[in-house]
Structure 1
Amino acid sequence: MYAAQNNKLHSHLPSFGIPKLIKFCYIITALLLYSCGDAKTDNTTKTQTTDNQTETTTAPETKDKTILCFGDSITAGYGLDDTNDAYPGILQQTIDSLNLGYTVINSGVSGETTAGGKSRIDWVIKQKPTVFLLELGANDGLRGVPVSETRANLQAIINVVKTKSPETKIVLAGMQLPPNMGATYTTEFKTVFSDLATENNIAFIPFILEDVGGIASLNQGDGIHPNVKGHKLVANTVWDVLGPLVM
């Protein structure tokens, strides 16, 4: 990925105001420098998250309907005091309130790239989820990874899910970048997600940070990771597409 939200959730076409885009550019640059300068922290986070995933995998299977959120720090709930406040946890609250009987599994890893996701999908998909939400690509964009490589990795992940868990419904979450990455790159990057969704005939969230990205009051001090309030809006955006699949 409510107290202040209507049960009927809304989505909007993704857009940034110019002032927000400029501010978001500086934030993205700062985050990239931070990510590159703290590799040890990233590795620690990945280890801790993997441990959590192992616990989830080995836990008794009491429900046969699951929604697996496979992503990066946005999914993992980076920087939150309680990771249940991240959008997957909020989705679980909504599902429970509607007595839908799904378990939401948070399989987010902070700092994860599409290449990293590709390397762990074979293990993760053994859980054979009912719904697989794919939220990866932002860190590729921050590092300037060739769009063709991001596209190939995302397609490889989708292929594994379709092959090893053919009954699983796939939802692809789109990501966008600020213009300081270059007009050509940002346009191609944005298009990758919509193209993959169309080519694979899977559900699509145009921009998972819709109405959150670049808005200071909805993000943490780093200016890019959603705070608790921001994650509630992310959950709304996700639910608008996910809801019809599980209702």
Structure 2
Amino acid sequence: MQRRILCFGDSNTWGYNAEDESRFEKGVRWTSLLQDNLGEEYDIIEEGLSGRTASCDDPLFEGLNGYSYIYPCIMSHRPLDLIIITLGTNDAKERFALTPLNIAMGIIRLAGRVKNTMTGRDGKDPEILIVAPAPIGPLYKEKNAFHSMGRESDLKTKEMIPFLHTMAKEAGYHFISAGNHLSMGEVDHMHLNAEGHKKMAELLEKKVREILKVRG
């Protein structure tokens, strides 16, 4: 039986390459590397979208609110054994005016949308792993990314992590902070480079095996 894992995230799940604004190929994206590392017993489903937020409707672009989309998404991909949620970077945009606590609350609210959906095996809910993205680097202010993100995005993505950790633990979700193991690439300081994708895949392979081994 294949274990089905949905990876629900933003441009760093989609595979945005800040060098030339293209998409990293299979074999570079962490999602495809995770598939390679885990092997044929697992089925990795890529659901990354550039600009996706956990809870905000973007006044400039359509369809980026993850909360609005996650329910039809999980219904279309069921049955699922695990959902990996890695969001929060875009919620730190200045135009959304969220505090670090607010960002964490939005991610937890989105994760709660999966509860009681019976989209797992045998009418159960899937396991949920919340991944706090590596914080935006402070030098993003010197890049074009600043014009999109606005002020204090680096601080918000760093300061929301302890809030998210506490809330995830209280809600019974699995949690890992990517920033303890890797950092954003130096092109724009908010997107993973190829090495970052490799490290993310290695980090999540270990966590996925741990979670699904316990589940049995």
TM score, norm. by length of structure 1: 0.63
Amino acid at match of 1:89: S
Change (3 A) 1:185 1:82: closer
Which one has the largest radius of gyration? Answer: 1
Amino acid at match of 1:191: P
Deviation at 1:189, TM superposition (A): 1.2
Mapped to 1, the partners of 2:24 and 2:88 lie a distance apart of 25
Deviation at 1:112, TM superposition (A): 0.7
Amino acid at match of 2:32: G
What SS is found at the alignment partner of 1:162? coil
Matching of residues 190-209 of structure 1 within 5 Å: 190-206=161-177, 208-209=178-179
Structure 2 contact 13–30 (Cα < 8 Å) conserved: yes
Structure 1 contact 68–131 (Cα < 8 Å) conserved: yes
Of the candidates 121, 131, 136, which is equivalent to residue 70 of structure 2? 121
Amino acid at match of 1:231: H
| Aligned residue in 2 for 1:67 | 5
| Aligned residue in 2 for 1:53 | none
State the number of aligned residues. Answer: 177
| Aligned residue in 2 for 1:171 | 129
Amino acid at match of 2:164: F
> Any gaps of 5 or more consecutive residues in structure 1?
1-62
Deviation at 1:210, TM superposition (A): 3.9
Q: RMSD over aligned Cα, in angstroms?
A: 2.6
Structure 2 contact 53–87 (Cα < 8 Å) conserved: yes
| Aligned residue in 2 for 1:229 | 195
Deviation at 1:76, TM superposition (A): 0.7
Deviates more, 1:170-179 or 1:101-110: 170-179
Percentage of identical aligned residues:
24
Q: Which has the higher helix share?
A: 1
What SS is found at the alignment partner of 2:188? coil
| Aligned residue in 2 for 1:59 | none
Amino acid at match of 1:95: L
Structure 1 residue 238 corresponds to structure 2 residue 188: no
The structure, 1 or 2, with the larger RCO (C-alpha pairs under 8 Å, 6+ apart) is 1
Of the candidates 88, 92, 107, which is equivalent to residue 141 of structure 1? 92
Amino acid at match of 2:36: Q
Structure 1 contact 66–104 (Cα < 8 Å) conserved: yes
Mapped to 1, the partners of 2:66 and 2:90 lie a distance apart of 11
Q: Which has the higher strand share?
A: 2
Deviates more, 1:140-149 or 1:223-232: 140-149
> Any gaps of 5 or more consecutive residues in structure 2?
18-22, 56-64, 119-123, 139-150
Of the candidates 87, 90, 103, which is equivalent to residue 43 of structure 2? 103
TM score, norm. by length of structure 2: 0.71
